[in-house]
Chains A and B, each alone.
Chain A
Amino acid sequence: MTVRTASDSTPTAQPASARELVLEVRDLSVSLRNADGLLPIVTDVSFSIAEGEAVALAGESGCGKSITASAIMGIAPDNAEISGTIILNGAAISGLPHRERRKLCGRHMGFIFQEPMTALHPTLTVGRQMTDTLRHNLGLSHAAATDRAAELLDRVGIPRAREILKGYVHELSGGMRQRVMIALAISCGPSLVIADEPTTALDVTIQAQVLDLLDEMRREFELAMLFITHDLELVGDFCDRAVVMYAGDVVERGRAADIVRSPAHPYARGLIDAMPRHGDQRARLTPIPGTVPPVGHWPQGCRFAPRCSRAGKKCTVRPPLAVHIRSDVRCWYPLKVGQ
């Protein structure tokens, strides 16, 4: 059996339509240098996002999704060593010096954080935080920036925008704060927005509102969205495509609906089975046995093998990311549809 390795020219790595690619990530690897040497955190991550597309970077804690995102943004920690290529709007940005990379933030890439309470400055007014970025990135005057900020707040559904601009973050509820974060992220017209667990810290009914808002923004501004999350149900509902990560590897990549409904990688299957779901009549959940191997203690060969019920002889060798029926899978014994 020949294994067709999935590259960026294969169908599932690229979006279905021929829209412009906003972000291309090729063979991204991130390692952290510490006193003991070089610790690999993330290995060979590749995916792309087109205009108006929402791609999920999904996985549990410790899989490397957050550091992948910060590497893309250019805000990885100082001791991080990054290899691979990152292409934004057709231009390679991974080789750029640090200062040039930072200039892309805000103007071309926007970022939405998980905890809006701590991700917004506690003692500067909301208006100041918004006008600072508008003035710096778009060169607007103070008055123009204030007007634009009020428009943006209005657009994200914050009532009495002018008053809120004069107020502070702690005066707002969680949902409001997250809307401010969204307004801030899109304020300078970026083509890519990275959202790191944007709804995890919010109440359920507010989550739904915020997700709707993100969806609206995506359609209206044709934003490419990278959605970092651990919630596979959300991935299935909200995203077009998904990149599932485990222990620093991409283990499955393809259309979100396909992966959630019928995952090919045993880990993805395990995650779906482990979640309590609506309409679930099971008496017991099916957890994945064992625990995630800590960084630096990854097993040789397939990193998921020690916990995998399907592990076999081949698993002592790290499987390549190969084309499978409907998605790219890193597994020697992937699940078939309906298994």
Chain B
Amino acid sequence: MTDDTILSVSGLSKNFKAVKAVRDVSFSIRRGKTFGLVGESGSGKSTTARLVLRLIEPTSGSIRFRGRELANFSPAELRAERRHMQMIFQDPYGSLNPRMSVRETLIEPQLVHGIGTPAERIQTAELLLAEVSLPRAALDRHPHEFSGGQRQRIAIARALATNPELIVADEPVSALDVSVQAQVLNLMRDLQDRHRTTMLFISHDLRVVQFMCDEIAVMYLGEVVEQGPRDRIYYSAAHPYTQALLASATGKRDGKRARLKGEIPSAHAVPSGCAFRTRCPHAFERCALEKPAIRDLGLGQKAACHLLDGQAVS
């Protein structure tokens, strides 16, 4: 792990009683890059996001943030470390405190982490508002006076208030209309360029992920089935699930769409061997017996599938 790696997750697992929500997930993110976690219901992507921020405790595995193992932090140290990691949530209507004015919302993170003098905090709040293209008059207003897209901007401004190293964005634009989504996505890209913030971007929408992310990990039932640089995933996806996701999303009606059969299995009853085998059009006997190992396919791309045996690089 180089000094440039902001976040490194290894063997991360989380069980909620009988449900294995996250199973042996590993990835790392370099400074200034955007890493996308893509998946459908039950994929474990949102749980992974919360584990990374240590909002919930992992069952096992390591999370190294800024070079230090998060599990080794005392509660006080962890609280202090949180200024370097912030989150943007999906629901613009639930993630802002309705009783706090925008000014208070933007000042609070600074206050909590003891950043700056009161005058400086207000100044930062004003600067942040300008960065997200909201007028200064917004400072005195409350969340209910804003539209969904505007609230997300406020949430983004709040996330930037402590100048964090890492921002975790959990489906930040899923609840927004297309034209508003475009504005917010552009904004996030601009801010990231300007502040060199590292981002973990979670979404179910492959189109958005392709636009935003440098590297992508595809999750299914708690595991990473494929990961790699964006273009590799889009133009030469190796795992049947990734291929199906791409096909569903782009599919023309009369074209040959690789239609997945069946439903996503419940996380209570993960299929043996390869979890995807119950829906995979190419499944064969080995898939039920043996869990596929992650194979390195070169150029940074990795996938876990028995079909790739001949293609593995190492």
Contacts and interface: CB of A to CB of B under 8 A. Distances in A.
Asked whether any CB of A lies within 8 Å of a CB of B in the complex, the reply is yes
Nearest to B41: A203
Nearest to A60: B177
Interface in A270-301: 270-271, 274-280, 282-288, 291-292
Nearest to A275: B178
Contacts of A286: 182
Contacts of A270: 179
Tell me what chain A mostly uses at the interface: helix, strand, loop, or mixed. Answer: loop
Interface in B241-283: 244-253, 257, 259-261, 263-264, 279
Nearest to B147: A291
Contact of B263 (A173, A230, A278, A284): A173
B13 to A, nearest CB: 23
A275 B182 contact: yes
B207 A60 contact: no
B40 interface: yes
A205 B242 CA distance: 10
A209 B211 contact: no
B147 A276 contact: no
Interface stretch (B23-31, B101-109, B183-191, B301-309): B183-191
Contact of B204 (A60, A203, A280): A203
B259 A204 contact: no
A176 interface: yes
Contact of A208 (B179, B211, B257): B257
Interface string B192-208: 00000000000011111
Contact of A230 (B178, B185, B210, B234): B178
Contacts of A230: 177-178
A149 B250 CA distance: 34
B189 A203 contact: no
B44 interface: no
A274 B176 CA distance: 12
Contacts, number: 98
Nearest to A267: B179
B32 interface: no
Given A204-B248, A205-B260, A278 B206 contact: yes
A237 B182 CA distance: 21
Contacts of A279: 234
Contact of A203 (B180, B185, B253, B264): B264
B149 interface: yes
Given A60-B178, A284-B186, A287-B182, A237 B252 contact: yes
A56 B148 CA distance: 25
A205 B244 contact: yes
A254 interface: no
B263 A237 contact: no
A204 B179 contact: no
Contacts of B178: 60, 230-232, 271, 274-275
Given A230-B177, A276-B208, A208 B186 contact: no
Interface string A189-220: 00000000000000111111100100100000
Contacts of A203: 40-41, 204, 264
A174 interface: yes
B210 A204 contact: no
B177 A61 contact: yes
Contact of A285 (B186, B248, B260): B186
Contacts of A208: 247-248, 251, 257, 259-260
B163 interface: no
Contacts of A232: 178
18 contacts: A60-B177, A173-B263, A173-B264, A176-B263, A203-B41, A204-B206, A232-B178, A271-B178, A274-B178, A276-B182, A276-B211, A278-B206, A278-B249, A283-B189, A285-B185, A285-B211, A288-B182, A291-B147
Given A206-B40, A276-B185, 8 more contacts: A205-B248, A205-B279, A208-B259, A208-B260, A209-B261, A237-B253, A285-B211, A292-B177
